[in-house]
Structure 1
Amino acid sequence: MRRKIVVGNWKMNNTIAESVDLATAIAEKVGADGVQCEVGIAPTFPALYEVCKVIEWSGIRLCAQNCHYESDGPFTGEVSTRMLAAAGCSYVILGHSERRQLFGETNATVNLKVKKALAEGLSVILCVGETLDERERGVTGQIVTAQVVEGLIDVTDISKLVIAYEPVWAIGTGKTATKEQAQEVHALIRAKVTELYGQKAADHLRIQYGGSVKPSNAAELFAMPDIDGGLIGGASLNADDFMAIVEAAG
């Protein structure tokens, strides 16, 4: 039985003080409610260390939103995996559609980051998903499969991997894939992972859904057999909304 995982991606929101306040509110609720799923939050880089100090007692996982694939060097504006680990991170989100669409990340650069993060002991949330144009052209399966396969080149152990399916057309738009649409792609991802790594590894792999997940639709999405939680954007910026989604995951 796969343990569901719900992670809040705060994106470029909140000052350090605001991040600490939100993290504290979530930690208090997680501690009081005794939730069964795994919970993570991904603040901005400047807030990571301070947030770590207020959530470490709660069991909430500290996640980073990105990393570089080199350990150090002349990469202005970048952050390395060892810096993230030193700040208290146990997860890093890689290949998010905003990184791909706005900053030119490719399957190849995502792959370099995935390999580096896993080698350094971090768990990885690998994001995949199609644009609206790609869905309308009927190539969702091809796009998502390529992102999975090319993102995992030379990765032999996926025990510390989570995949997040995030249809680009549903991120921050208020549009959500139906539970059937989401399940179809999640099942496709699991089938491809079975081809690559075998049935046992695929059965243990957790695949999150992301794309305008809200308290009102979380339960029906998470009830689908291949949806193992959510990567939450806007709704994770409100402690009550985020906790309602966490509780929907069990």
Structure 2
Amino acid sequence: MVTTRTPLIAGNWKMNLDHLQAIAFVQKLAWSLKDAKHDFSSVEAVVFPPATDLRSVQTLLDADKLELGLGAQDLSSHDSGAYTGEISGAFLRALDVQYVLVGHSERRTLHSEGDDVVASKVAAAHRHGLVPMICVGETAADLEEHGPSAVPVAQLRASLTEVPADAEIVVAYEPVWAIGSGQAATPEQAQQVCAALREALVEIAGPERAATTRVLYGGSVKSNNIASFLREPDVDGALVGGASLDVAEFTSIVRFRSHVGV
């Protein structure tokens, strides 16, 4: 089955940039991509600002008809109620948010979110018409004990237990040992795990859904290594952390095809 999947470059700002800084950043990014004559039909670019920035960024995107996608960094598994500090998927959808990160390694580690919590959040995103970007990945200890792909595949399977097989998702493989370390996985390592994740999707959701689902790589992604990852057949984009806070660098990552003929 031959399927064309539009590459997706997602910029996770984490807890950086207040709403005024976010407005300035998005304006500069849009101008930079426009100056570079970026074709948004060939590569989709999405930014994931902090929750306090979402309204400001959404207003700017709508007013200036900018072609950047908008994502949120987290959501509640609950729709409404006495859940102080949490954010409903309904609220995100009302802000025209398209994507939401679920199961990021920092949420799993710093907030002790297990597979059950991740699954409930994936279900909440689906209920509200958001596309969950499901993050999976292994620590160095996991890799040594279980080998490549075992932990990410198990996490993916667990995350999809509460949604229908045809639910639209994006999968992001982020080797925890590579995040923020400057030590990216090799393209071959990324391909090995991304291919295993796609094989798991075939079993879970069928070959058609598996063929159209985008699987991203995340972990010390830079403009000087993005093209090598995107050459791999099962790597459909990147979840970018620190480099997404640099307009020139993120623009260069989004325009990865200009580096070499990918």
Q: Normalised by the size of structure 2, how large is the TM-score?
A: 0.92
Alignment of structure 1 residues 1-250 onto 2, 5 Å: 1-32=4-35, 33-35=37-39, 36-56=42-62, 57-248=65-256
Larger CA deviation: 23-32 vs 50-59? 23-32
| Runs ≥4 residues deviating over 4 A | none
Q: Is the 8 A contact 2:9 2:238 kept in 1?
A: yes
Displacement, 1:159? 5.0
Displacement, 1:58? 1.6
Q: What are the ranges of 5 or more consecutive residues in structure 1 without an aligned counterpart?
A: none
Displacement, 1:28? 2.1
State the secondary structure of the residue aligned to 1:41.
strand
* Alpha-carbon RMSD: 1.3
Q: Is the 8 A contact 1:49 1:88 kept in 2?
A: no
**1:77-101 deviations in whole A, cap 9, x for unaligned?**
1111011112221110100000000
1: CA distance between counterparts of 2:54 and 2:136?
24
2: CA distance between counterparts of 1:110 and 1:159?
15
Q: Is the 8 A contact 1:162 1:206 kept in 2?
A: yes
Partner amino acid, structure 2, of 1:38: E
Displacement, 1:27? 1.8
Displacement, 1:23? 1.1
Displacement, 1:158? 4.1
Partner amino acid, structure 1, of 2:246: N
Q: CA 1:158–1:239 in structure 2 vs 1: closer, same or farther (change >3 Å)?
A: farther
2: CA distance between counterparts of 1:7 and 1:105?
22
Displacement, 1:196? 1.1
2: CA distance between counterparts of 1:21 and 1:50?
10
Partner amino acid, structure 2, of 1:76: T
**1:132-187 deviations in whole A, cap 9, x for unaligned?**
11112234432111101100003214452100000001111111000000000000
Q: Normalised by the size of structure 1, how large is the TM-score?
A: 0.96
1: CA distance between counterparts of 2:155 and 2:114?
9
Q: Is the 8 A contact 1:159 1:205 kept in 2?
A: no
